[in-house]
Each structure stands twice: as C-alpha cells, then as structure tokens.
Amino acid sequence: MTDPISHLSASRRFDRILVGGHWIESLSTGTAPVIDPANEETIAEIVLATREDVDAAVSAARGAFPGWAATPVAERARLLLRVHELILERADILAQAISREMGAAMTFARTAQVPFAAEHVRVAAENLAAYPFLHMRGTTAIAREPIGVCGLITPWNWPLYQITAKVAPALAAGCTVVLKPSELAPLSALLFAEIVCDAGIPAGVFNLVSGTGPEVGEALSAHPDIDMISITGSTRAGVLVSKSAADTVKRVALELGGKSPNVILPDADLNKAVPPGVASSCRNVGQSCSAPTRMIVPRDRLAEVERIAAETAAQFVVGDPRDERTTHGPIANRAQFERVQYMIGVGISEGAKLLCGGTGKPEGLECGYFAKPTIFSEVTTEMAIAQEEVFGPVLVIIPYDSIEEAVAIANDTIYGLGAHVQGTDMEQARAVAGRIRSGQVLINYPAWDPQAPFGGYKRSGNGREYGIEGMEEFLEVKAILGYEPD
C-alpha cells in the first residue's frame, strides 16, 4: 500500500482516511491545522471527516468482523507481535511525530511514549495466547466472545500509548475497530495505521477516521452498528459519549479525569519519597490523567517537604523538546496552555503558598506554549487547585495531622483514577492503599506494570484497560447450558 506520511515535513495535508484497508479521500473538505507547540507553527493539516466517512468505516469493520473473530488465536497473536516489531523498528520516527504534534521532549518520547505503547501490543499478544476463551462450570460452558465492532476515541496527551492500549486488546479479543485519534495530535496515529497495514492485519479489521469529537466522536457513539465505545478523555467528554451511546444500549468504557493523591506517611524517607513524587506530578509536563498532583504530607514535616520539592523542580529543564538536555517541553496546545495559566492564577488568588513557578512563560521561551513547573503549599481541600484537574506541571502540597485525616483528604475528590502511598512500614502502607477509593494505587513508586489493570472509580470512569482485564472489556460472556451432559 502507499505510505501517506513516510517523512514529516512542514505544512503537509493529510486528506485521507483508512477504510477497508485502503487510504481513501474523505468526503469532507474541512481540515484542521496540526500545531507544533514548541514554536506555534503549522506542521500539517488533517482532514475533519464526516458522518458519511464514519458510516463507510463502520461498514468496513462490520464486514470484516466475522472473519477476524474466527481467525485462530495463534494467528491473531502472530499478527499483533508483528505490529509490536514494527513499532520498535520505527520507534524514532514515531518519537519525532509525537514530539512535534504534542511537544513531548524527545528523550521522553523515546524512553516512555513509544516503548510503553509497544508494550501494550506485546502484552495483548501474550495474554491472547494463554487466555481461556471457554471453560466449564459443572455441565455449563462459559464462553467469552468478541463483542463486535468497537469505536475507539483517543486523546492528545499520550497519542500512541492510548491508541495501542485500546486497539491491541480489542484486536486480540477478535473485535474490529474504528479509531478516532485526537485531531490535535494525529500524526503518530497515521504512522500507527501504516504499521497495522504493513503487519498484515486483514483489510477492514482496523479503520481510522480523523475528525472532531462533536462530529466523528458523536457519530461513532450513536452509530447503531457500533457495539462498544471506548474513550479516554475528559470527564465532560465521557459524559457526552455516554449520553450519545445510550439510545443504542452499547457498552461504554470510560477512562477519564483524575486528581490523584500521593500520601507521604509519617515514617517515609522524604529524600526518597518527595523527589519522585514531584517528578511524577510533572511527568509528560503534567499532562497525564493519573499524575499524582496532590502531595499529602505530615504537617510537622511540611517545611522539609517544601525544601526538597522546590529543589527537585529547580532541576527540570524546560525548553525545546528536540534538545537532548530538555526534560520538559511545552504544553501540548494553546487551549490547554491557557487553562494551566488560569489555574495557576486561581491558586495564587486563593492564597496558596507559591514555592516555585507561577504564571507566564519561562524566561527566554516567549514563543511556544511553555509553562513554569509550579508548586503550591499550604493548600486546603476546598481550594479549586486541590479539586480541579489542571493537566499541567502544577503540584499542590496539602498537610495533615493524622493518618485518618490523610486518607480523608486523599478521598476528598470526585475522581478516583490513580493514587500513591509512600512509607517504610509496608503493613501500614498496604492498609492505607486499601482505604483509598481509586482504581490503581502505587506503593513506593514501583516500576510500571503493563499487566496491572488501569481505570477509575467515581467520575474517573468505568471499565479497565491494560492486562487481561483490558482485553476482557472487549468480550461478551455466553453461558451454554447442557454443553457437557451429566
């Protein structure tokens, strides 16, 4: 097939969508610019597809579903492993695309954004090969079957990682998909689509339609031939998708916002607990839904925490994401930059203690959506900066007087996506972790585990991604009574 974006260059127009294994022209004449957030220059134009384009993609996926669902497990696993291989082979151009479309530092794109995305594919193939799609319960067979055609809606902050976290388990389960990547960061999605085709995934199994949420996202959510919608995005977007999907009673999986706590227990070694906490809160320039942006610390150790936190942030290098010395690039787009600036201003007006950072751009970075890593202390739970998701390099430090209060503060949020606990007494750390209302809790900064299910309590969503549970989201359960007679 023709490679539509073999090389990234300025002002390129991508007016095709992937339907039924072919790059075809969209019926739309509308486009949106893809902006490099480091210099605010237009690097590409992406077509904004129509509802008719969605119909064509869904039709292709529906036609391909019976054959893909019947494809032997070993063959599906082999093809997924080929996708994994191609991601690794093309890692550098993928990292370049991610850096240019959403501003990730190249070092971070190469060491996290791309390899973690590849891991989702490898894990999906591994889980598929060993999964018991049928087992007996007495004389009844419990079968798990692919749910059907899935609409997948992914965000701009981890553009490739979130795609593979959905596409890989869906394909492993035997589903066919229509992907709508963010129109703000679509380049890595186009490169991934090339990889899927080059890996030999059958035509129609994977389809890509670029466009906006109100047009393409809503069309997918409401489409009668879509059996499931999975979205990663804001809580507001998740609510709109759920409402749109309700009339057709399709399954909806939501991975939404967060305001994750990081509880520093009284016995924690602050030199081990605070620096990684600051780094994690600002990882990906704070543009991660599970970022631990509320550091909850013992009041009698607040001054020491403040000192270590400020010293840690001072080591960050904000600048050109293509410079190997840069640790933190720009905010991904203008709207998010303005949101971050607004929320920093809110924190100052609320009377929180500003340890470092603040509004405005770092000195010497007047062009681009660069923000100062910002830390507030002496924050109380009623402050907006303790409750609202900022989605930028902003950390708030909240003091507590007892472990009971620390747990209450951790749970004082409408969200429940991720959480952290730091302490040397593991029994106490486990007990606190067990009391936090969150879909995932990390004790003492463990290594990332792609097999650990990820998803939210409360307004952080429903359903799970990653690991076996991530694949099971795309499966229906069928009971066949009398399958094995007495």
CATH number of 409's domain: 3.40.309.10
406 falls within a domain: yes
7 falls within a domain: no
The per-residue b/e assignment along 314-334, b for 16 or more CB within 10 angstroms, e otherwise, is eebebbbbeeeebbbbbbbbe
Q: How far apart are CA 46 and CA 346, in angstroms?
A: 35
Residues 468 and 443 in one domain: no
Domain hosting residue 420, numbered range:
261-450
What CATH code is carried by the domain that includes residue 230?
Answer: 3.40.605.10
Residues 65 and 96 in one domain: yes
170 falls within a domain: yes
Amino acid at 357: G
Q: What is the mean pLDDT of each run of 10 residues along the chain (486 residues)?
A: 44 90 94 98 96 98 98 98 98 98 98 98 98 97 98 98 98 98 98 98 98 97 98 96 97 98 98 98 98 98 98 98 97 98 98 98 97 98 98 98 98 98 98 98 98 98 97 98 88
CB atoms within 10 A of CB 405: 14
Q: How far apart are CA 448 and CA 467, in angstroms?
A: 12
User: What per-residue confidence (pLDDT) applies to 10?
Assistant: 47
Q: How far apart are CA 329 and CA 337, in angstroms?
A: 12
5 falls within a domain: no
User: What per-residue confidence (pLDDT) applies to 425?
Assistant: 98
What residues are labeled active site? 255
Residues 208 and 282 in one domain: no
Residues 124 and 70 in one domain: yes
Residues 155 and 73 in one domain: yes
Amino acid at 142: I
Residues 314 and 424 in one domain: yes
467 falls within a domain: yes
Residues 229 and 295 in one domain: no
Q: Which residue reads 């995005």 in tokens?
A: 233
Closest by CA to 114, choosing from 46, 163, 186, 173, is 163
1 falls within a domain: no
Residues 82 and 217 in one domain: yes
Residues 395 and 416 in one domain: yes
User: Cα dist. 158→101, 198, 281, 288, 452 in Å?
Assistant: 11, 23, 15, 8, 18
Q: Which residue reads 């593991």 in tokens?
A: 426
486 falls within a domain: no
278 falls within a domain: yes
Residues 419 and 474 in one domain: no
Which tokens in the block code for residue 81?
């492993």
Residues 46 and 195 in one domain: yes
Domain count, the chain: 2
The per-residue b/e assignment along 49-58, b for 16 or more CB within 10 angstroms, e otherwise, is bbbebbbbbb
Residues 297 and 148 in one domain: no
